Each structure stands twice: as C-alpha cells, then as structure tokens.
Amino acid sequence: MESESEGGVFDHGGHSVSLARVDEARPSRCSTSLAGSNELPPKPLLIAGPREAGEYPVLVFLHGYLATNSFYSQLFRHVASHGFIVVGPQLYTISGPDTTEEIKSAAAVIDWLAGGLSSVLPPNVRADLSKVSISGHSRGGKVAFALALGHAKLALPLAALIAVDPVDGMGVGKQTPPPILNGKNRSLHVSAPVMVIGTGLGELPRGPLLPPCAPRGVSHAAFYDECAAPVCHLVARDYGHTDMMDDDTPGARGLATRVLCRSGGARAPMRRFVGGATVAFLRKWVGGDGAALDGIRARPEQAPVALSVVEFLDGSLDSC
C-alpha cells in the first residue's frame, strides 16, 4: 500500500474503483440447501475494490439499523481507492430489536470470504484474507463489536475493528439484545485494535418529539470508555449520525436518514473524514504504517471536519 501524508487519506486514493452487487445464494426448488452456495454469499453484497491487479486487504462493513448497504457506496469507494476491498453485506430488510440473527449473518459472510470472495472479484484482483478487518455504523457498529468479542465463531481472525457512531439500543437500561456495553470501564477485551468514530450531534434529537439517533450512554463515548487498549476515539464535533452516508439516499429509508437524525449539513466532509480515518487506522494495524494515524493525532486540524475528541490509548499511553 502506498504511503501518504495524513492529508492524503482524506482525499480519493490512487486506485480506480469498481463497485459491484452480488446476489445471495438461495435454496433450490428441489433441495433445502443453498443453490450455488460455493460461490454465492449467504447475504447480498455490495463490493468496492481497486480495478488494478494486485492483492488487497479486506474490510467488511455492516450497515446501520434499517439502512441499506448502498447508502455507503461513496464511503466504500473512498476506502477502496486507497487499496482495500470493501465488502458490504445487506444483513436484513426488516428487523426487530434483537441483533442475534444479524450477528450470525455477518459471521456467515465473513466465513464465506475464504471460499467465495475470489469468484466475484475482477480478474487479477486478489483478496488478502490474512488481513480481514470489520467495521459497522450505528447498530452495525454494535454487531461488529459483538463479532470481535466472540458472540459468533469466525473462521478468519480479525485484524482491526472500526465502529462508526456505534449504538447499543435506545438508552442505558434499554439496550438491544444481546447487550454489548456493561457500564464497566475498560472491560471489553476485543480481539483486535479498535477505533471508535463518534459524532457531536448524534446524541442530540432532531426535534422535540424525536429521540436522538445515538443516545448518550449507549453510543460512541461509552464504547470507547469500556473498550480495553489498544483503542482510539475521534469525534466529529459538528456532524450527525448519518452524515457519512451517500449524498443521495433514495426511497423512504433514505429520507429517514435525513429527517430522523440531526445533521451538520453537507455530507461530503464527514464522509471524507470517516473514510480517511478508516484508511489511516487500517494502514497502522493491517499495513504496519502508522504515519497517517500518527499525523491525525498530532495535527487533528488537518482533518476535513473539526474534531472535539482525539483520544488514543494503549498499554503505554502511546499511539493507538
């Protein structure tokens, strides 16, 4: 992977990007087994990756509650342009409060990668499955934490975890099952280094009759406080819970991303920040190059958004 300054990760990278949809395997008429399951994934996928020949690390990204994977296509393209393959499963169409099935579905997708991902990638593009990372937004961030904490057995080890404004229910004491947060400082011993990205407006309601989209006590700050090192925490002060999504999110679900959650306005700066921070973190823990992440820590003013929190914690209190 190329080495860039911390400013470079916030811009589109040097790779041209392909974006492809992959259908899920479905039961055949004559059998309860999944037809073509050796190649097709257990859930529909949106995959972004470099067009150029080469071998690239994989990031699995889990969508937020009642969102679609397509709402993150511009974010996927940003990360992929820096030399990563981004796999975004559509975990469900309709779901209740219990996230157990989502955790199982996400684990099934990760398990499928080893035998199936190569069959849906462009020619001469290879996935480095020794370096699989997981990310998720909102409820998807909670599911990502659940996977990294062992709530489902994974066939592949995780290299890094990035939670984007994660949410564990409607409030303290109102967590969705299975609860992840437990109110104990540094008690979550995750199987991979963790970055928690938060929003300053996510904890604020859009209006007097609406609940906040990322309630205080079960959102980014609580995840960071309960996560054992190594972990880092970055908060975009003036942006909201869905501001890293695409500029255009069509349909009723897309409209909900704008009318239910408080927003900081144009989404492009927040999307560039989340994409760039993700790339910097993956370069540190997947590529072994911490320059971009160290740059964000030393000069947070270089980010495309104002950061109200920049916290890094490891055993020696050095960089994340």
Closest by alpha carbon to 145, among 108, 99, 183?
99
Closest by alpha carbon to 197, among 162, 244, 145, 248?
162
Catalytic residue flag (residue 12): no
Indicate the average pLDDT of the chain: 93
124 C-beta neighbours (distance < 10 Å), count? 10
Catalytic residue flag (residue 289): no
Encoded tokens for 85? 């393959």
Catalytic residue flag (residue 138): yes
Per-residue model confidence (pLDDT) at position 27: 64
**CATH number of 8-25+34-313, picked from 1.10.10.10, 3.30.70.20, 3.40.50.2300, 3.40.50.1820:** 3.40.50.1820
Q: Is the model's pLDDT at 319 over the cut of 90?
A: no
What is the mean pLDDT of the segment spanning 43-69?
A: 97
pLDDT in tens, 247-282: 999 999 999 999 999 999 999 999 999 999 999 999
Locate the domains of the chain by residue range. 8-25+34-313
Q: Which residues of 146-180 are buried (b: 16+ CB within 10 A; e: fewer)?
A: bbbbebbebebebbbbbbbbbbbbeeeeebbeebb
Task: Please say whether the dihedral angle defined by the alpha carbons of residues 156, 64, 165 and 4, taken in this order, is positive or negative.
Answer: positive
**Catalytic option among 241, 243, 246, 263:** 241
Q: Is the model's pLDDT at 132 over the cut of 50?
A: yes
Per-residue model confidence (pLDDT) at position 131: 87
In angstroms, the CA 247 to CA 272 distance is: 12
3-state secondary structure of 2: coil
Residue 105, amino acid: S
**Catalytic option among 82, 133, 165, 233:** 165
Per-residue model confidence (pLDDT) at position 278: 98
Closest by alpha carbon to 290, among 281, 299, 298?
281
**Catalytic option among 138, 219, 233, 246:** 138
